[in-house]
Amino acid sequence: MSPRVTLIGAVAAMIVSGVVLYRTFSKSNPVDGATENLFQAYTQVTADEISRLLGGHGDVVVLMWGAPSDDATFPDGPPAVQALCQALQGHGLHVTKDRVTPVREGREVAWTAENYRSVLESHSQATALISFVGSPQLTDDNIRALPSPRPKLIVVRLAKLETARPLLQQGVVDAAVLPQTDAPSIGHPPKTAREWFDKYYIFATPTTVAQLSE
């Protein structure tokens, strides 16, 4: 694998983690254009897919980590959050933001079942929750106790196939942006936002997740 591909792949992971700010790359850097294209593609296609899933209207709440976290160092949210909020508003969705208190479990930060229930209580009338904090950690009992109806849950950061698949299949998560496992062959370098997105990401739903390879 070439250094260029390796670096672009690393940038893709950084975007998903919400800490990349592609404007920090100098304009003379040969990867800068690719980085910007990838950032914009992630934002545009994710917003397009969310709008399509919600029928182009509704109230959405974008969730990010509160203190202590990297997210908390940005008063209005990290760049990926701000960009997606703007894109969703461009689709006519009403967007608000909220923060989830991070809970340390070993070396990981978890979105606990208790926190998820608190978010559902606070935003019970929302059309959808857009999660930059991953998927909630739920037991079977937690899932059975979830209110119905409830806002759709769309995970756009920190989603992994092995944890997102069962939640998608059970209808707890309604969509998730996952790392691409089998990029389609298009015969040329990615040019459009959709091609850039499909090279590195998958927008998975309960209908499509069964088709994804590990």
Closest to 130 measured CA to CA, from 12, 13, 18: 18
CA 37 to chain centre: 17
134: left (phi over 0), alpha (psi -120 to 50) or beta: left
> Each residue of 71-107: pLDDT tens digit?
899 999 999 999 999 999 999 999 999 999 888 877 7
Both tokens of residue 144? 């059975």
Pair 77, 71: CB distance under 8 Å: yes
- Residue 137 above 70 pLDDT? yes
Residue with tokens 């760049």: 79
What percent of the chain has a predicted confidence (pLDDT) above 70? 84
- Residue 121 above 80 pLDDT? yes
- Residue 16 above 70 pLDDT? no
Domains of the chain: 3-211 (3.40.50.2300)
> What mean pLDDT value characterizes the chain?
84
- Residue 139 above 50 pLDDT? yes
d(Cα 66, Cα 73) in Å, to the nearest integer?
A: 9
d(Cα 124, Cα 103) in Å, to the nearest integer?
A: 22
Q: What is the mean pLDDT of residues 148-175?
A: 92
> Each residue of 39-82: pLDDT tens digit?
999 999 999 999 999 999 999 999 999 988 888 999 999 999 99
pLDDT at 13: 45
What percent of the chain has a predicted confidence (pLDDT) above 90? 60
pLDDT at 8: 44
Range of weakest confidence among 16-20, 65-69, 111-115, 125-129: 16-20
pLDDT at 211: 78
pLDDT at 161: 81
Q: 3-state class of 204 per DSSP?
A: strand
Q: What is the number of alpha carbons within 13 Å of residue 93 lying toward its C-beta?
A: 30
pLDDT at 209: 84
Pair 123, 151: CB distance under 8 Å: yes
Pair 8, 31: CB distance under 8 Å: yes
Other CB atoms within 10 Å distance of the CB of residue 26: 7
Residue 132, φ and ψ in degrees, nearest 5: -100, 15
Start-to-end CA distance of the chain, whole Å, equals 21
